[in-house]
Amino acid sequence: MNRLATQFRSFSGCVRLLMVQQFTINTAFYMLMPYLAVHLANGLGMAAWAVGLVLGVRNLTQQGMFLVGGILADRLGHKPLIMAGCVLRTVGFGLLGLVDSLPALVAASAATGFAGALFNPAVRAFLAQEAGERRVDAFAAFNVFYQAGMFVGPLVGLALLTADFALVCSVAAVLFLALTVIQYCWLPARQSIAPECGSVLADWRTVVRNRPFLYFAAAMTGSYVLSFQVYLALPLQAHRVAPDSGEAVTTALFAVLAAVAAAGQLKITAWARTWWTSRRAVGYGVALMGGSFLPMLAGCGAVSGDSSALGRVAALAPLFTTVTLLGLGTAVVYPFEMDTIVSLAGGRLVATHYGLYNTVSGLGITLGNLALGALWDSAERWGHPELTWWALTATGALCAGCVGLLARSGRLAGPAAPRLAAVAS
């Protein structure tokens, strides 16, 4: 904590505000979203397809509109887009606690998704701009606040659920409203650097013609498929080995993942900078993410009420080893990955680059999860569940290999980023 506090104080007030803001955003988001499906199904009595529709609309809206949010942030400025996203999420979260009809819930879900598409690229571009040459350190500290919000949010939400789901939504909405006021008062305006030609189409062409960036985005898609398994394959495995306590085990997995980042991110980043270049750190980190699924090959049966303490540890140890290694690999990758995107953008249209990067990774997650889900079912029928873990390990190896090839070919050495000037709020 002392190291984090020292590093936090070393940044400008704007960077510190962006970090605290992200902690609040994640706290508000994760205090509500993990419990939304249960509220829709049990509280409102909605059918499973309707629950899937409401949740899917949020994800589709956010992933599909990231590019729009990035373009708008580069053209209108980061601060207006961050504020607009928070206002929209205030409305969306407030509605989720008040309405009970499917059309209204879909509209509220779409609003929360679009809100994320507005402020996510803007926040990362703003952070990169303000941190300057200290981008890697800034993104490392940023990830600590990000993961801490993911850890605190569900705990706060669980406590508020003892009263009412509407209270959870109201508190989350109030947090976003308070953020909007704070941003208006204290978040400075900054001028983005865009090409001299002012059309959106020209901006779009600039980004899609950046082949090294597109190659990097494609190569890193596999890493997002791997990290998403804390929502898919690992919870499924938790219910497989501990059918009576799958939810509790899944919650513990999330806690371990957040704890790894919160406790080790700064030390991991400092160590990686000492021994590796940014490109090597990304490649080695992705390789570790893929290798993190190898412990799952040592399946030790299922946990039951009659299992001994040693039996429970043996059955659950592969799961917790995997999520710990996955957290370590993600901690290695994240700050250097974010820095590489800025370098490949040359400091221009950074939010647009982040927006397209998120869109590509979101599409990759969707396709990857469809393929993995089909493999999971097939592997179960064939009696070889280990095929899922081999496939994830191979995905990490392939992704790391592609990043290594790009680095060796010189395609990840982007142009020097220009200095960005501040303008008055």
pLDDT for the residue 50: 87
pLDDT for the residue 341: 95
Residue spans of the chain under pLDDT 50: 195-196, 419-425
What is the distance, to the nearest Å, from the Cα of residue 359 to the centroid of all Cα atoms in its chain? 12
Q: What is the dihedral of CA 141, 147, 149, 150, to 10 degrees?
A: 170
Spatial distance between the Cα atoms of 56 and 2, rounded to a whole number of angstroms: 41
Token digits of residue 55: 């949740």
pLDDT for the residue 305: 52
8 Å CB contact between 102 and 51:
no
Question: What are the angstrom distances between the C-alpha of 22 and each of 30, 69, 118, 175?
Answer: 12, 17, 14, 12
In order of their start, the domains of the chain are 1-192 (1.20.1250.20), 197-420 (1.20.1250.20)
pTM beyond 0.85: yes
Q: What is the DSSP string of 345-406?
A: HTTSSHHHHHHHHHHHHHHHHHHHHHHHHHHHHHHHHHT-THHHHHHHHHHHHHHHHHHHHH
Residues in the chain: 425
pLDDT for the residue 415: 59
